[in-house]
Structure 1
Amino acid sequence: MDQNEIQFSYRARDDRGVFEVVPRVDGTPLTDLIDKFETDAGMRPSGDAYGGLVPQFFRFGPMEDHFHGRLGDAKTPLLGCECGEWGCWPLLARITTTDDLVIWDAFEQPHRPARDYTGFGPFRFDRHRYDDALGKLSRAVDEGS
């Protein structure tokens, strides 16, 4: 079972004057991965539809809780709309954590329930590396708040 690498970019959005969180899987922004998947699958609309999560727009709580799927919902938003609002056009996934792994799977776009994301993911991350990446993200968000 291959494992993926995870990073979380916390970057400025020049168009909004806020910061956004964009997961990177194996070095590629999740926004790029999902754009390619949706475009290649012929989904419409697709391409440049997603953006990062903007903590200033929504109280996600501690990043560790959010990206461990501890919000109490069955699925967790990993990306939001390109406009900056996650509820507008989110990419949701089930996040499963074990002592050794964090798995993102069962992706969905809730505004298009007929879309099939079976071929996207799953992404499997080493739990210790994932937690290290989340720790870096949390520090960046705390410093940027």
Structure 2
Amino acid sequence: MNVIEFTAYPARDEPHTLVVGARIDGSDLRTVVAEVVAPLWALELDDEDFDSEIERDRFLLECHGGLPAQDVAWPSRHFLGEVEYPDYSGYEPGELALLGCGCGIWGCWPLLARITVDPDAVTWTGFRQPLRPGWGVLRLGPFRFDRTAYVERLASPTVLDADPLDPS
């Protein structure tokens, strides 16, 4: 099984607003996603789009951001696959946003997945970027978490002073 850690940290452009993120097996979900979508972006972008490799890497990492804690943090059941705020639902039945856009408007560039819960586990599958239908289902996951540990970590996320991917 995979290991999940939920995090809460200040939004990039609104430091007084917390957002919820996740680490899977010790890696920030945004890092994992960036590695998976890099080859897909490479088909759309070229070296002239960036001044350096560092700038390209920052672009990939900053595509996504956390979701507003006020809407999805515990006791919300969003990360248990329940639609509480339809705004964070995907375009296909059963999809929910795991990450929003790095600009702070979640729907600009959401990462969607299906969250299924059974008595022993919570599973994330079918990761998609709905604004790039040609990418199809991303080669990401499935991630399967022990349900008890998942709920415990969801109920008490690691609170951080800053975005863990902030370069400063």
TM-score normalised by the chain length of structure 2: 0.71
Q: Tell whether the 8 Å contact from 1:64 to 1:135 is kept in structure 2 after alignment.
A: no
* Farther off after superposition, 47-56 or 90-99: 47-56
Partner of 1:65: 77
Does residue 5 of the first structure (1) align with residue 3 of the second (2)? yes
Residue among 136, 139, 164 paired with 1:119? 139
- Structure with the larger helix share: 2
Code of the aligned partner of 1:66: H
Q: Tell whether the 8 Å contact from 1:101 to 1:124 is kept in structure 2 after alignment.
A: yes
Shift of 1:55: 3.1
CA distance in 1, matches of 2:127, 2:102: 18
CA distance in 1, matches of 2:135, 2:155: 33
CA distance in 2, matches of 1:13, 1:33: 19
Does residue 101 of the first structure (1) align with residue 100 of the second (2)? no
Partner of 1:24: 23
Q: Tell whether the 8 Å contact from 1:92 to 1:109 is kept in structure 2 after alignment.
A: yes
1:114 aligned counterpart, secondary structure: helix
1:79 aligned counterpart, secondary structure: strand
| CA offset digits 1:40-87 (Å, max 9, x no partner) | 44464761211111235xx34755410011107511100000011211
Q: Tell whether the 8 Å contact from 2:73 to 2:154 is kept in structure 1 after alignment.
A: no
Gap regions ≥5 residues in structure 2: 46-58, 160-168
Shift of 1:22: 0.7
Code of the aligned partner of 1:29: D
Does residue 54 of the first structure (1) align with residue 52 of the second (2)? no
Shift of 1:15: 2.9
CA distance in 2, matches of 1:15, 1:88: 15
Shift of 1:136: 0.5
| Alignment CA distance shift 1:61-1:13 (3 Å) | closer
Task: Tell me: higher relative CO, structure 1 or 2? Use CA pairs within 8 A at least 6 residues apart.
Answer: 2
Which structure is larger by alpha-carbon Rg, 1 or 2? 2
Shift of 1:112: 1.0
Q: Tell whether the 8 Å contact from 1:54 to 1:85 is kept in structure 2 after alignment.
A: no
Gap regions ≥5 residues in structure 1: 141-145
Q: Cα RMSD (Å) of the superposition? A: 2.3
Q: Tell whether the 8 Å contact from 1:81 to 1:87 is kept in structure 2 after alignment.
A: yes
What is the aligned-residue identity percentage?
37
Shift of 1:5: 0.2
Residues matched between the structures, number = 135
Q: Tell whether the 8 Å contact from 1:7 to 1:24 is kept in structure 2 after alignment.
A: yes
